[in-house]
């Protein structure tokens, strides 16, 4: 028996409780304005976790690339509907991409700093990038990719920023843990340090 | 007058030609200061000096001003706002700190490149921004709040920020273009003028930049320079036939 | 043959052009934040009106009450997805937000500025806080904690804001006169404003 049929309730086919739950989850996902976590789905459906997970796996079978124009995806720590990739061209004719359109190199570097090191303040961003960060930060806030996250400790502390769920969604990340590790570049710092010390030594002798 | 500093021939990775052209290109932002190996310039100058019979103190002074300016520009580009902080460290600590920051920035540049690639990969994914067309509009409710938090928030905003040392920003560079325009304007009014008379009252650094502008004008054939004797005023006039110098710039 | 299957493309079932079109329409509808008109759908799919209408009727058969948690609705001259009625309770629980315990630093600072110095404009709030105020002000307006109160003098003057009765209720104040005194910061709103702007200037330099 084909799985998607199990979601369809009508005369002649038994409507199992899990199908009803899957329909409720569908409904929640189609009205939500952000990805919904498993916990949110459990709370809203007032059902149990295992059953909600089963419903989600039924739905991801039904709503997947090549089979449906609506695709269920994992994003920003939750579940959300999006358009199928095959419809990208049609979507491009109707919808703008205000969040990521025209992101400058400065904006991407700032995003990288906030994503890897956040919460981080404007002065810290400026220190790392070597140029003032004010307008870049303002534009990223306006796009909804970063948001305020309190101030630095102490009097007169600067506002700090973190990346948002929208950032994760736009870049197709389920969580920030999916950002590539940059540890292997640590060796770089070593060799740079040695070179600088060499120069300093040469000067002193 | 040939100058031991201006005509100092350099052969660096990023640049080949006389020192004054290098400075001009850096000030006009046509050459990345980060690419310039300043230690190599110092070595070249010291070799140049030792090849001469006696120490040219004037040349040393001019060189110090110009190379300090170059260092300042390079340092400012690499580590804005950090000069004072680094100055308090021991050389080894400073080297370590510098290396750490350079590596940090390089990592962030790589992360930015990864994000850019990711955007390209993900550009076929469209999703809804904002609420669904027929979704209910939620009402946000807030628990009772303590008004003291408001006073505290304002007190935080009224607290003066920690002091940031700006001592290393003391050297300010006027753009070369400013002096280019200034000298052109003077030459439209007068056929000849004294360089010293035009720059009197300016700081050493401003004089150095003005001098670079003058060299630039001579190079492009817009002015002719003459000096009656060493240390005599430099006379600037509208051009006659001037020898064009052959300089080459190699890209990094 | 059951109609919904016609939308499903996979081995063994022929994927007719109308099914592909229906998937594209599905995709467009799930991305839209407004109902889409027939005309918009025709433009975006670059298809013909009759075929788009056929695709829509296939979709309204698939996405209808009792059969699916997602329901295709003709609304306000356009088409949009909504949650099925059977999921109304779960949706209600999803959108009924828990009572929020506190305010973000950004919201608190902005509220404090408006409460003590209002009516005050967005540019002025931004100057004092040292960061753009747009999203924070918009969110406080939406939550009913601040409201518009005229404009600054002169042509093109910025909208000014004051706190609301809801604000007073939330903070347990009978009137703004009951706000905690700020004696050490300035005797009146005017000197407070000067002090804050001075500090903000120092922070920005």
- Summarised one tens digit per residue, pLDDT across range C77-127 is 799 999 999 999 999 888 887 788 888 889 999 999 999 988 999 999 998
- Mutation choice for B interface testing from C125, C135, C144, C170 by most B CBs within 10 A: C170
pLDDT of amino acid B88: 62
pLDDT of amino acid B250: 32
pLDDT of amino acid B89: 62
Q: Does A74 touch chain B (CB under 8 A)?
A: no
Query: How far C1 CA lies from chain B's nearest CA (Å)?
Result: 32
**Contact residues, chain C, for B124 at CB < 8 Å:** none
- pLDDT tens digits, A157-185: 888 999 999 999 999 999 998 888 876 54
Q: How many CA atoms lie within 13 A of B238 on its CB side?
A: 7
Of A95, A166, A171, the CB nearest to B118: A171
Contact yes or no for A83/B126 (Cβ under 8 A):
yes
Query: How far A79 CA lies from chain B's nearest CA (Å)?
Result: 12
Query: Using the beta-carbon criterion (under 8 Å), do B162 and A100 form an inter-chain contact?
Result: no
Of A5, A40, A87, the CB nearest to C94: A40
pLDDT band at A5; cut points 50, 70, 90 = very low
Q: In B, what residues contact C, Cβ < 8 A?
A: 126-151, 153-161
Select the highest-mean-pLDDT range: A69-83, B72-86, C129-143, C150-164: A69-83
Of B80, B107, B119, the CB nearest to A126: B80
Compute how many other C-beta atoms are within 10 angstroms of the C-beta atom of residue B144.
10
- pLDDT tens digits, C182-203: 777 776 778 888 888 888 877 7
Tracing tokens 């991407």 back to the chain, one arrives at A108
Q: Which chains touch B (3 or more CB pairs under 8 A)?
A: A, C
Structure-block tokens of residue B83: 């000069």
pLDDT at B166 over 90: no
Task: Supply the mean pLDDT for chain A.
Answer: 82
Using alpha carbons, list the distances in angstroms from residue B56 to A21, A87, B18, B63. 90, 75, 18, 11
- pLDDT tens digits, A84-130: 999 999 999 999 888 888 888 889 999 999 999 889 998 888 877 77
Residue B120 DSSP symbol: H
**Contact residues, chain A, for C86 at CB < 8 Å:** 20, 23-24, 27
Lowest-pLDDT range of A7-21, C28-42, C150-164: A7-21
Backbone angles phi, psi at A14, to 5 degrees: -70, 130
Nearest CA in chain C to B161: C203
Lowest-pLDDT range of A55-59, B242-246, C67-71: B242-246
Contact yes or no for B36/B73 (Cβ under 8 A):
no
Instruction: Say if residue C94 is exposed, middle or buried (CB neighbours under 10 Å; 0-12, 13-18, 19+).
Output: buried
pLDDT at B54 over 80: no
Of B127, B134, B160, the CB nearest to C199: B160
Share above pLDDT 70 across residues of chain A, in percent, rounded to a whole number? 80
Share above pLDDT 90 across residues of chain B, in percent, rounded to a whole number? 2
Who's near C12: CB < 8 A, 6+ residues apart? none
pLDDT at B170 over 70: no
Nearest CA in chain B to A95: B126
pLDDT at C15 over 70: no
Q: Give the three-state DSSP class for B234.
A: strand
Query: Using the beta-carbon criterion (under 8 Å), do B129 and A111 form an inter-chain contact?
Result: no
Tracing tokens 């003028």 back to the chain, one arrives at B193
pLDDT at B162 over 50: yes
pLDDT of amino acid C12: 43
Share above pLDDT 90 across residues of chain A, in percent, rounded to a whole number? 47
Compute how many other C-beta atoms are within 10 angstroms of the C-beta atom of residue C122.
18
**Contact residues, chain B, for A185 at CB < 8 Å:** 103, 106-107, 110
SS3 labels along chain C: CCHHHHHCCECCECCCHHHHHHHHHHHHHHHCCCCECHHHHHHHHCCCHHHHHHHHHHHHHHCCCCCCCEEEEEECCEEEEEECHHHHHHHHHHHCCCCECCCCHHHHHHHHHHHHHCCEEHHHHHHHHCCCCHHHHHHHHHCCCEEEEEECCCCCCCEEEEECHHHHHHCCCCCHHHCCCCCCCCCCHHHHHHHHHHHHHHHHC
Lowest-pLDDT range of A37-41, A140-144, B105-109, B229-233: B229-233
Compute how many other C-beta atoms are within 10 angstroms of the C-beta atom of residue C47.
20
pLDDT of amino acid B63: 81
- Mutation choice for B interface testing from A170, A184, A202 by most B CBs within 10 A: A170
Beta bridge partners of A80: A73
Nearest CA in chain B to A86: B124
Nearest to B48 by CA among B19, B28, B26, B75: B19
Query: Using the beta-carbon criterion (under 8 Å), do A138 and C129 form an inter-chain contact?
Result: no
Query: What strands lie across the sheet with A120-121, from one edge to the other?
Result: A120-121, A159-163, A146-151
Where is pLDDT greater, at A38 or A12? A38
Residue A154 DSSP symbol: S
**Contact residues, chain C, for B132 at CB < 8 Å:** 33, 80-82
Q: Does A94 touch chain B (CB under 8 A)?
A: no
Query: Using the beta-carbon criterion (under 8 Å), do C94 and A9 form an inter-chain contact?
Result: no
pLDDT at B239 over 80: no
Query: Using the beta-carbon criterion (under 8 Å), do A196 and B156 form an inter-chain contact?
Result: no
Query: Using the beta-carbon criterion (under 8 Å), do A80 and B127 form an inter-chain contact?
Result: yes
d(CA A164, CA A146): 5
Q: B224-227 and C146-151 as β-strands: parallel, antiparallel, unpaired?
A: unpaired
Mean pLDDT along residues A20-27: 94
Tracing tokens 């002798």 back to the chain, one arrives at A205
Using alpha carbons, list the distances in angstroms from residue B201 to B59, B171, B180, B204, B206. 21, 16, 18, 9, 10
Nearest CA in chain C to B129: C33
Nearest CA in chain C to A20: C69
Contact yes or no for B233/B192 (Cβ under 8 A):
no
Query: Using the beta-carbon criterion (under 8 Å), do B160 and A109 form an inter-chain contact?
Result: no
- pLDDT tens digits, C51-81: 999 999 999 999 999 899 999 998 777 999 9
Who's near A180: CB < 8 A, 6+ residues apart? B111, B114
Structure-block tokens of residue A114: 């906030």
pLDDT at B227 over 50: yes
pLDDT of amino acid B80: 54
Task: Supply the mean pLDDT for chain B.
Answer: 74
SS3 labels along B26-89: HHCCCCCHHHCCHHHHHHHHHHHHHCCCCCCHHHHHHHHHHHHHHHHHHHHHHCCCCHHHHHCC
Q: How many CA atoms lie within 13 A of B237 on its CB side?
A: 11
> What is the predicted ipTM?
0.76
Mean pLDDT along residues C176-185: 81
Task: Supply the mean pLDDT for chain C.
Answer: 85
d(CA B228, CA B156): 65
pLDDT of amino acid C113: 93
pLDDT of amino acid A86: 92
Query: Using the beta-carbon criterion (under 8 Å), do C81 and A25 form an inter-chain contact?
Result: no
């Amino acid at each position: 028996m084909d799985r998607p049929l199990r979601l369809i309730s009508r005369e002649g086919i038994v409507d199992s409780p899990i199908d009803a739950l899957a329909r409720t989850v569908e409904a929640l996902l189609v009205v939500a304005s952000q990805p919904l976590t498993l916990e949110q789905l459990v709370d809203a459906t007032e059902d149990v976790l295992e059953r909600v997970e089963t419903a989600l796996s039924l739905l991801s079978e039904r709503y997947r690339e090549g089979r449906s124009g609506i695709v269920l995806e994992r994003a920003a720590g939750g579940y959300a509907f999006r358009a199928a990739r095959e419809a990208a061209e049609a979507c491009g004719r109707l919808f703008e991409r205000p969040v990521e359109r025209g992101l400058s190199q400065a904006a991407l570097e700032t995003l990288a700093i906030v994503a890897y090191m956040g919460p981080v303040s404007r002065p810290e961003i400026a220190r790392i990038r070597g140029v003032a960060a004010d307008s870049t930060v303002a534009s990223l806030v306006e796009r909804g990719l970063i948001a305020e996250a309190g101030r630095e400790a102490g009097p007169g502390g600067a506002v700090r920023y973190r990346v948002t769920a929208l950032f994760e969604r736009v870049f197709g990340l389920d969580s920030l843990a999916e950002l590539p590790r940059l540890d292997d570049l640590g060796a770089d710092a070593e060799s740079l340090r040695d070179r600088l010390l060499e120069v300093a030594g040469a000067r002193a002798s | 007058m040939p100058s031991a500093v201006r005509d100092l021939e350099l052969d660096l990775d990023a640049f080949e030609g006389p020192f004054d052209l290098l400075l001009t290109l850096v000030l006009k932002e046509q050459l990345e200061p980060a690419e310039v190996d300043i230690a190599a310039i110092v070595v070249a100058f010291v070799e140049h000096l030792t090849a001469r019979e006696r120490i040219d103190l004037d040349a040393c002074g001019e060189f110090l001003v110009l190379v300090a300016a170059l260092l300042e520009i390079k340092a400012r580009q690499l580590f804005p706002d950090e000069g004072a902080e680094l100055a308090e460290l021991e050389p080894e600590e400073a080297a370590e700190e510098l290396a750490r920051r350079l590596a940090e920035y390089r990592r962030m540049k790589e992360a930015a490149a990864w994000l850019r690639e990711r955007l390209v990969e993900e550009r076929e994914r469209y999703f809804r921004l904002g609420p669904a067309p027929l979704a209910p509009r939620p009402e946000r409710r807030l628990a009772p709040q303590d008004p003291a938090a408001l006073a505290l928030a304002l007190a935080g905003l009224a607290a003066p920020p920690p002091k940031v040392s700006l001592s290393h920003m003391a050297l300010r560079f006027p753009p070369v273009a400013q002096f280019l325009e200034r000298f052109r304007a003077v030459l439209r009014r007068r056929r000849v003028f004294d360089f010293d008379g035009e720059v009197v009252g300016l700081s050493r650094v401003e004089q150095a930049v003005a001098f670079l502008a003058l060299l630039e004008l001579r190079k492009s054939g817009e002015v002719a320079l003459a000096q009656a004797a060493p240390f005599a005023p430099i006379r600037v006039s509208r051009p006659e036939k001037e020898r064009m110098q052959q300089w080459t710039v190699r890209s990094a």
